[in-house]
Structure 1
Amino acid sequence: MTEVRELPTTRAEDTTVDLLVIGSGTGLLTATAADEQGLSTLIVEKSEYVGGSMALSGGAFWIPGNAVLAEQGSSDSTEQASTYLENLVGDASPRARWQAYLDQGRATVDLMRRATPLEFIWAKGYADYHSNLPGGSDQGRSVESSPFDLGVLGDERARLRPTSMSAPVPMPITSPDYRWMNLMAKAPAKALPKVVKRVAQGVGGLALGRHYAATGQALAAGLYAGVLDRGIPVWTKTALQRLVTDGDTVTGAVLVQDGREVTVTARRGVVLAAGGFDHDMVMRHRYQSESLQEEWPLGAESNTGDAIKAGVEVGADLAHLEEAWWFPSVAPLPGGDPGVMLAERSLPGSFIIDRHGRRFVNESTDYMTFGQEVLRREGAGDPVGTMWIIFDQEYRNSYVFATEVFPRMPIPQAWFDAGIAHQADTAAELAELIDVPVETFVATGRRFNEMAAAGRDADLDRGESAYDRYYGDPTRSPSPNLRPLDEGPLYAVQVVMSDLGTCGGLRADEHARVLREDGTVITGLYATGNTAANAFGDRYPGAGATIGQGLVFGDIAARHAAGGREG
């Protein structure tokens, strides 16, 4: 394997550019768009790595009506997506904002294909999260990068944020691959060819000096390659200290690198693309929930809300601070990270309970809705408390769990030692171990088994939507999401309310311009991605809507800045 060595940091100096981009996640494409428009551009990144939370993510983007979808057989259109968002978002966000997203989306994808070495695939079947609404798509609108050779970056690969989403052998796993690889033990005829293909690509690539990556790291690497190709400077280990203003206009920023302050003057504006406030627990406890813990968020550790705070200091308004891209995960071991759960909640032979020992949500629902229900319960005075996913031995023998425990592998002893996993021969014994009311838990299991045997979740509608079924087990009938649990052994693994990033922040308009409380524009200041308030209000349309916003509104901001600050 190619050795990845540490690279020196470009020294920050006082300078003047047309557009200053704060953040190197989707901000990479913002800078590329600005360069294409003829603007001199600088990217600054607080951490030592380029890629932001995007590099840690699944890497999909939800941008309806784009050319990749059309070329790969989708009949999607922006008109259908507009109907969908009209029904989904309602008055939770201004129509002009999400309509601008739809109107510009195709051009943004064209820009990525033109200005980077990335190639894309449609995750066909990855349904919109609320596809039952008018305009929703059961086939989905999510697109992601094909496996990408990190060797394209040369020495700069050392500056790409590493990912924790990796297989035990070198193999790039896309989302469609993961779906079937998770079913390796149940549908080998479908899964094994995909496994062999990706192992051959990964191991064979290494033999040829290539290092293939997939998901968010592939997307980040490809966007970074586009930036490097254009010679756009990137300053890492450089933090935003404050914005510089001239009257009511933002004219640049004061940055800090190695304790030194430098000033960058930005003739056409500053784009804040530095993520949310994932790791500022004071803000999270104030605006979201006291129950959230520092080790739960999955976003980059550098996301502490710096750009949001800087915007507020110059008069910016805020919106949707109570929201995040919630993502239920396996509780972390001490000093570790949460275990990502993608299909686990949807697979048959499992269910999730609250502190009372009861089911409380459709386990297969999209992860943002899942988290919103947890917080709704807390706000109503009946907190969910400690959550547990319950499953049996057949489930353990059949599916990948938390991306690291493969079928028939034992649950790691460290999980039992840390108290985040328990095993028992009966439901009553398991209830005692996880400290929930025995009678209630036993009744919950009995009720679930009765409904699962009938193939219909009459209580919470699990398995009724196309999205529920996407991560289910298609070998099961009549429902890919439901199966009665066997008598024993039974397992319980603790689930925590993690997230992919906060999605409340600076209020912005359809041009990505930051707004004051009275609705007036702060000239020269733009906000994109998770630094800006979610363009879809409190809703999540489909996989990749978070990355999609960063990409599209970054493109919009660059184009607007290129046209001058007026209007």
Structure 2
Amino acid sequence: MSEQSAQQITVDLLVVGSGTGMAAALAGHEAGLNVLIVEKTDKVGGSTALSGGAFWIPGNPVIDADGGSDSVERAGEYLADIVGDTAAAERSQNYLRFGPATVRLLQRLTRLDFMWSKGYSDYHAERPGGSAVGRTCESKPFDIGLLGEHRDDLRSGSMAAPIPMPITGVDYRLINLMVTLPRRGLGRAVRRLSQGLGGKALGREYVAGGQALAAGLYDGVLRAGIPVWRGTALERLIVDDDRVTGAVVDRDGTPVTIVAERGVVLAAGGFDHNAELRREHQLGDLPELSLGSPGNTGDGLAAGTDAGAGLDLLDQAWWFPAVAPLPGGSPKVMLAERSLPGSLMVDEAGERFIDEATDYMSFGQEVLARRRSADPIGQMWIVFDQKYRNSYVFAGELFPRAPIPQGWYDAGTAFTADSIDELADATGLAKLPGTVARFNEFAEAGVDDDFRRGSGAYDRYYGDPSHGPNPCLRPLQRGPFHAVKVVLSDLGTCGGLRTDGYGRVTSDSGEVIDGLYAVGNNAANAFGNRYPGAGATIGQGLVYGYIAARHAAGLLAADTPAARAQHS
């Protein structure tokens, strides 16, 4: 990096955003580029730090090392089937091509130790090329103390525990079953609690999930000597002779011109918290309840379109059903809750409307499709019996047998009654008694004739294997019975700038804007309007960060046999 004046500097590669954009910075640094990261907020990590931290990258070396035998070719069959012949097809295929090399880069340049989440099924595992054993990986618990004086730079996780207990995605599933599978569930809880408390005694601070991934990436960035300017907002891109040559940023109130000789990588997230754009393209009069980073207001989209970029898939987000927030609070995501036996979900009339256990993006797409139709779902509810409440963790904070907080009742978020008829009267869910009676018949038989809940591998992953014949179905028989309001939340938007198979931003007509790249949620989803498996959102941020940086360095200039062999 060379400084030409107090207001202008020159770098090779400018990365805007410090979530998975840090992978782009590491890839650029390894390729010999001088890299600068700018981050609008005062915290590093973006939505990655708030997430579960998993990544879905088929055929990667972590799966191989853990005894799996996944292949990129089989995953290609899967993506070809679910993505189809769309504008995203080229992007999804290059994602597979460079995915394993991306993971190897992270293994070289960070101190993260990855593991395969064996059994975490692809979301559409029954489709050709799908995998019931899964392709999802995540970091093992990471000592955030390795960041030293930069420890407090990292954005705090949305699920931070009150005690040191680094819970991975695999841990979450098992701990959720601590009552019905105590040996496995309680054993895993004790193991993580021991690691957290033992680490603290040794001066270590173990974190898991998105906190671990973001911390590991940041640690790699710091050790590589890559500067990170926090509190620095993108103002505009600089375009010279149809090429993006840099950007103007606001650094703590001072405008700075950054000349980027090899390119600018936009990794600034989506438009999660831009209420105007969300009303226009997605939600209409529904509230914006995003769990994405608060800095995701669409700055990268605005700068890109000003430079001639096209936009795609603005109606899409990583939707997630959640418990309705209390006044002044945040929604609480529902993952395993929807799959576990002894529960069902209904619309405002009291009727079921979906396979409750389906992947969360598909859930949200169905809710919004119905909203646009003549038969909207309206208010959603999850209904369950006391045995369910006694058996499972709920909303990430209510441990088994813990009473539903009085504040939930006071806010009209929860209702409890001794019978289903009384619950229907209390909530106004007129058709609930008939719905529960029909559901109970299916649950007794172990087959959901209406929505096939529990028939797919992903449904069953978050079910209760101690219950049969269907781990996702059990009749609701003994009261008291509970109903809790559900809203449509999201983990961030996934529509954005149009890009090609090298992460280069293009116009609506497909013309490449030289010198400009977009990755992660700043770009339109590499899988179109589909979500192939847990961690595909973080995965594409990592992989396309690698691709964009290598392309900017001149290492992926042509699609030749030699280039393909280098990254096979």
TM-score surpassing 0.5?
yes
- Which has the higher mean CA deviation after the structures are superposed, 524-533 or 413-422? 413-422
Matched, 1:179 2:173: yes
What amino acid sits opposite 1:183 in the alignment? L
Aligned to 1:509: 500
Distance 1:291 1:355 in 2: 17
Matched, 1:339 2:328: no
Aligned to 1:409: 402
The structural deviation recorded for 1:195 is: 1.2
Distance 2:452 2:357 in 1: 9
Task: From 180, 197, 200, give the equivalent of 1:203.
Answer: 197
Distance 1:245 1:459 in 2: 55
Aligned to 2:127: 133
Aligned to 2:414: 421
Distance 1:286 1:276 in 2: 15
Aligned to 1:538: 529
Contact 2:415 2:482 in 1 (8 A): yes
Aligned to 1:6: none
Contact 1:26 1:54 in 2 (8 A): yes
The structural deviation recorded for 1:12 is: 8.6
Distance 2:178 2:533 in 1: 26
Aligned to 2:564: none
What amino acid sits opposite 2:489 in the alignment? S
Distance 1:13 1:63 in 2: 40
Question: How many residues of Structure 1 are paired with residues of Structure 2 in the alignment?
Answer: 554
Task: From 64, 67, 72, give the equivalent of 1:73.
Answer: 67
- Partner deviation per Cα, 1:72-110 (whole Å, 9 max, x = no partner): 011100001000001111023342211110000000000
What amino acid sits opposite 1:426 in the alignment? S
For residues 441-452 of structure 1, the aligned pairs below 5 Å read 441-452=432-443
The alignment yields a C-alpha RMSD, in angstroms, of 1.3
Q: Secondary structure at the match of 2:145?
A: helix
Contact 2:383 2:483 in 1 (8 A): yes
Matched, 1:519 2:510: yes
For residues 339-358 of structure 1, the aligned pairs below 5 Å read 339-358=332-351
What amino acid sits opposite 2:62 in the alignment? V
Task: From 383, 392, 399, give the equivalent of 2:392.
Answer: 399
Contact 2:311 2:524 in 1 (8 A): yes
Distance 2:97 2:555 in 1: 21
Q: CA 1:282–1:94 in 2, change beyond 3 Å: closer, same or farther?
A: same
Distance 2:445 2:462 in 1: 20
Contact 2:41 2:231 in 1 (8 A): yes
For residues 98-497 of structure 1, the aligned pairs below 5 Å read 98-294=92-288, 296-437=289-430, 440-497=431-488
Distance 1:123 1:250 in 2: 40
Q: Secondary structure at the match of 1:344?
A: helix
Distance 1:315 1:381 in 2: 37
- Partner deviation per Cα, 1:358-405 (whole Å, 9 max, x = no partner): 100000000000000001101112221110000010000000001100
- Partner deviation per Cα, 1:489-524 (whole Å, 9 max, x = no partner): 110111111011100000100000000111110000
Q: Secondary structure at the match of 1:110?
A: helix
Q: CA 1:338–1:525 in 2, change beyond 3 Å: closer, same or farther?
A: same
Aligned to 1:29: 23
Distance 1:434 1:254 in 2: 54
Contact 2:176 2:393 in 1 (8 A): yes
Aligned to 1:18: 12
Distance 1:490 1:167 in 2: 29
- Which has the higher mean CA deviation after the structures are superposed, 71-80 or 254-263? 254-263
Q: CA 1:470–1:293 in 2, change beyond 3 Å: closer, same or farther?
A: same
Contact 2:196 2:206 in 1 (8 A): yes
The structural deviation recorded for 1:426 is: 1.6
Contact 2:13 2:36 in 1 (8 A): yes
The two structures have a TM-score, normalised by structure 1, of 0.96
Distance 1:518 1:371 in 2: 30
Contact 1:523 1:565 in 2 (8 A): no
Aligned to 2:553: 562
Q: CA 1:304–1:137 in 2, change beyond 3 Å: closer, same or farther?
A: same
What amino acid sits opposite 1:525 in the alignment? L
- Structure 1 outlier segments of 4+, above 4 Å: 564-567
Distance 1:123 1:270 in 2: 34
Distance 1:564 1:54 in 2: 27
Aligned to 1:63: 57
Distance 1:218 1:402 in 2: 22
Distance 1:12 1:281 in 2: 36
Contact 1:268 1:565 in 2 (8 A): no
The structural deviation recorded for 1:354 is: 0.7
- Partner deviation per Cα, 1:521-558 (whole Å, 9 max, x = no partner): 00000000000000100000000000000000000000
Distance 1:333 1:261 in 2: 40
Distance 1:39 1:502 in 2: 30
Q: CA 1:256–1:357 in 2, change beyond 3 Å: closer, same or farther?
A: same
Distance 2:19 2:152 in 1: 16
Q: Secondary structure at the match of 1:385?
A: coil
Q: CA 1:13–1:232 in 2, change beyond 3 Å: closer, same or farther?
A: farther
Q: Which runs of 5+ in 1 are unaligned?
A: 1-10
The structural deviation recorded for 1:565 is: 10
Distance 1:175 1:367 in 2: 16
- Which has the higher mean CA deviation after the structures are superposed, 36-45 or 93-102? 93-102
Distance 1:333 1:367 in 2: 22
Q: Secondary structure at the match of 1:539?
A: coil
- Partner deviation per Cα, 1:106-134 (whole Å, 9 max, x = no partner): 00000000000000011100000000001
What amino acid sits opposite 1:64 in the alignment? P
What amino acid sits opposite 2:378 in the alignment? G
Contact 1:365 1:468 in 2 (8 A): yes
The two structures have a TM-score, normalised by structure 2, of 0.96
Q: CA 1:566–1:12 in 2, change beyond 3 Å: closer, same or farther?
A: farther
